[in-house]
Homo-oligomer: A and B are copies of this chain.
């Protein structure tokens, strides 16, 4: 039950873009250095994000990335599903949609199916309810008062 680094890095990268929203393209190097991430790795994550229409890119010198929409229109759920695939805690839940092969043999008789559905719904609800704007607001609101370490 882990969210991979793909998801986490993507969120922080797009949060960084959100902070610069409206101020032209931001090169990947800046994001990577600022957050201490591998530029090469981050590069790979931007590919699906661009194809999904979450970010836009400008090539060449003085180029970079920028959000394709307003921060309040991009949810954390979108970001994570884009780079990690659909939120399905068990493969069975995927089958109903695509269903070229059906890994869920006893779908209607399976007593546990309801559990996984509830978990997925719950996660989707949480992640779909948080936007990049939310993160910015929360960060501004926090006082950064005395932290133990």
Contacts and interface: CB of A to CB of B under 8 A. Distances in A.
A139 B123 contact: no
Give the contact-size bracket for chain A. 35 or more
Nearest to A86: B1
A138 B84 CA distance: 32
B126 A122 contact: yes
Nearest to A146: B108
Contacts of A126: 115, 118-119, 122
A8 B139 contact: no
A11 B11 CA distance: 33
Nearest to A91: B2
Given A115-B127, A126-B119, A90 B135 contact: no
Contacts of A125: 122
How many protomers of this protein does the assembly include? 2
A1 B114 contact: no
A76 to B, nearest CB: 6
Contacts of A80: 1
A87 B139 contact: no
A144 interface: yes
A88 B1 CA distance: 7
A97 interface: no
Contacts of A112: 8, 11-12, 15, 135
